[in-house]
């Protein structure tokens, strides 16, 4: 895994801002913040409204799903989704920031066997708590934690519940260890790596990080800013996924013409299925024309209530786009 500085973006005429809806799977480059990557992509599409679905540090690369237009209404599903990473760990050292940006201190090489190494790595699987690092964008009293750290202050942080769903050894050569991990929302890989180094008895810090998965989306389906810059506008638009592509795990519900009309106008309807369902359950809802209407939920009175709806002018038949879904 190598990191190379992000080259300056070639001069590209900025498009006039316009209403455009869809999901872009971006392969974020090294050295660019998530917001800077978002703004570059937004300019390439001329999108009036845009947002990303989970921050990647400037020195991390990989999958950063971006939402344009009406798709931003459903971005919360990806913010809460599990994430997959490929991480490179430098063993035998510690860092004040748990990554290559801090002050590095040499300790001693890892002296155990590969079997012992795998055993210790697997001990980190499952539910656990993790304290956010001081060098992070998490805010306290309106200020990111890293601003306190830069001022030489350490503040109390509340530990959060996380889950490490899978953890596999990909490569081990000399002092460099490469692993892949699937983790829950809110997991800091830097902290996980630092804890692993401590458990191994030799120290370790995160030397490179690449996000490979966000919810149902894989890095294999992502495009780079450089690729987008060399495309025509029509080719860029062909890269966009429909908004409902973010919701494959939300059960689908198809409505008839009368039910569709009520939901479109924000009116609750009687639960259209004979069997009752748990209050609060959510569905991605489609009209009789196969338009994706949005997400509805079941009320205590067994009514179907519109939670988030697509604007009328963006209703169109749901499309099957080429995207690699991963389990």
Which residues belong to the active site? 57
d(CA 7, CA 243): 31
Within 10 angstroms of residue 105's Cβ, the number of other Cβ atoms is 11
The answer to whether the beta carbons of residues 176 and 285 sit under 8 Å apart is no
CB atoms within 10 A of CB 37: 21
Please spell the DSSP secondary structure of 85-108, one letter per residue: EEEEEEETEEETTSBTTS-EEE--
Please tell me what DSSP assigns to residue 291: B
Q: 38-61: buried (b, 16+ CB within 10 Å) or exposed (e) per residue?
A: bebbbbbbbbebbbbbbebbbbbb
In the chain, which ranges are continuous DSSP H helix? 34-45, 76-79, 114-122, 145-150, 189-200, 225-229, 233-238, 257-264
Query: Rg (Cα) of the chain, in Å, rounded?
Result: 22
């Amino acid at each position: 895994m190598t990191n190379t500085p992000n080259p300056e973006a070639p001069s590209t005429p900025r498009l006039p801002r316009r209403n455009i809806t869809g999901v872009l799977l971006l392969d974020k480059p090294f050295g660019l913040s998530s917001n800077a990557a978002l703004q570059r992509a937004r300019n390439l599409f001329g999108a009036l409204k845009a947002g990303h679905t989970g921050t990647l540090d400037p020195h991390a690369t990989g999958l950063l799903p971006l939402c344009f237009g009406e798709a931003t209404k459903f971005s919360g599903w990806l913010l809460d989704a599990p994430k997959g990473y490929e991480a490179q760990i430098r063993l035998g050292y510690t860092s004040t920031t748990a990554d290559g940006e801090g002050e590095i201190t040499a300790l001693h090489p890892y002296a155990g066997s590969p079997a012992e190494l795998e055993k210790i790595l697997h001990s980190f699987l499952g539910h656990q708590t993790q304290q956010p690092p001081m060098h992070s964008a998490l805010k306290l009293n309106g200020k990111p934690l890293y601003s306190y750290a830069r001022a030489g202050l350490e503040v109390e942080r509340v530990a959060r519940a996380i889950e490490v769903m899978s953890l596999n050894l990909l490569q081990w050569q000399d002092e460099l260890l490469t692993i892949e991990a699937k983790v829950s929302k809110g997991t800091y890989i830097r902290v996980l790596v630092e804890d692993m180094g401590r458990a191994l008895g030799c120290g370790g810090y995160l030397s490179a990080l690449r996000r490979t998965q966000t919810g149902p989306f894989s890095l294999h389906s992502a495009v780079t800013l450089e690729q987008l810059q060399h495309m025509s506008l029509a080719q860029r638009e062909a890269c966009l996924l429909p908004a409902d592509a973010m919701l494959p795990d939300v059960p689908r519900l198809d409505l008839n013409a009368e039910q569709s009309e009520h939901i479109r106008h924000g009116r609750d309807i009687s639960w259209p299925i004979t069997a009752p369902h748990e209050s609060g359950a959510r569905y991605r809802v489609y009209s009789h024309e196969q338009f994706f209407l949005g997400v509805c939920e079941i009320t205590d009175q067994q009514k179907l209530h519109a939670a988030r709806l697509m604007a009328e002018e963006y209703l169109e038949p749901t499309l099957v786009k080429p995207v690699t879904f991963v389990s």
